[in-house]
Amino acid sequence: MRVIISGGGTGGHIYPAIAIANALKAKNPATEILFVGAQGRMEMQKVPAAGYEIIGLDIAGFQRELTLKNLSFPIKVVKSLWAARQIVKDFRPDVAVGVGGYASGPLLWAASGLGVPTLIQEQNSYAGVTNKLLSSKAAKICVAYEGMDKFFPKNKIMFTGNPVRSDIVSVTDKNPEALSFFGLNASAPVLLVIGGSLGARTLNESMEQGLAKLQAAGCQVIWQTGKHFSERAKAAAQAYESVKVFDFINRMDLAYSAADVVVSRAGALSVSELCLVRKPAILVPSPNVAEDHQTKNAMALVSRKAALMVTDAAARQELVGKVLDLLQNTALQQELKQNIATLGRPDAASQIADEVINISK
């Protein structure tokens, strides 16, 4: 079987794509997989590091504000559609899978036009424009939230959850290794702060302001900043031995295992991982996303008492106080753990891989 997987831009698209590829390989090692991404984006490094070939399209998103960059957008779309069509012709896939991100639109459009069956994996609770446009031609649409028939044809929807990295499916027995890895003390609580693969300014500035309070409360911190805030964060944390700063955490399984409480953006992948690792979480949805979909992702948990939420606008004033309250409230921690555990879907990648195989037949 030959499969093209397209999309990327952030870890929220790339890691589910790699998880699907790994599940396909686990079911049949002879499966040939080609990734198609966007030139200059994160997938062009992360996919080869995972052992897969990738081709980049010269494609970028349409900017919502007025900018000269938008003048080149139609040209890039036409070029990418032409290049995607050639890639499909050369590789001759049995199935094309789109996971969202700039490259998935041209590639799935080209594949459909050439008679290749397509599968869409929609990670968010609010469907992206590209996936909505592509859904009429898709054979199957795998979703992670209930009620997605308001965006997609109901007969094509399959509820699978979001695929996550296999090392994150079980972190319960890794705590001693995790504490050693990060140089942490087993007798003090640990806060994990993750702003997504590219970082989050609001979370970073909230943490920067609150380091003294967290230290005074005896809290240890694992802080993923993203590369743009990394040096500033390291300078701010110099005075605090219990604060560990990383621009990017490669061992997220150990980070989750060490954590007692997690502060995170509400991207689809982060939410899915939190459900699997069963950690009490405070979500701070990014306001800089299409249709405010991170707030919708967060509310899917908050409405079930499976997580807490602080708005981006209120985070600098309220976030650290909310963290300290949660760290001191073990009953609430336990309630959040129990409720979030019911939402995890550890077999999502395997289910999607089975559907890819079915479509290929």
**One-letter amino acid identity for 148?**
M
Residue 202, SS3 per DSSP: helix
DSSP output for 19-69: HHHHHHHHH-TT-EEEEEEETTSTHHHHHHHTT-EEEEE---PPPSS--GG
- Report how far residue 315's alpha carbon sits from residue 266's, in angstroms, rounded to the nearest whole number: 14
Collapsing DSSP states into helix, strand and coil, what is residue 214?
helix
Indicate the annotated binding residues for UDP-N-acetyl-alpha-D-glucosamine.
Answer: 10-12, 124, 165, 197, 249, 268-273, 294
Binding-site positions read: 10-12, 124, 165, 197, 249, 268-273, 294
Pairing of strands 2-6, 95-98: parallel
Q: In what order do the strands lie in the sheet with 95-98?
A: 53-57, 32-38, 2-6, 95-98, 118-122, 140-143, 157-159
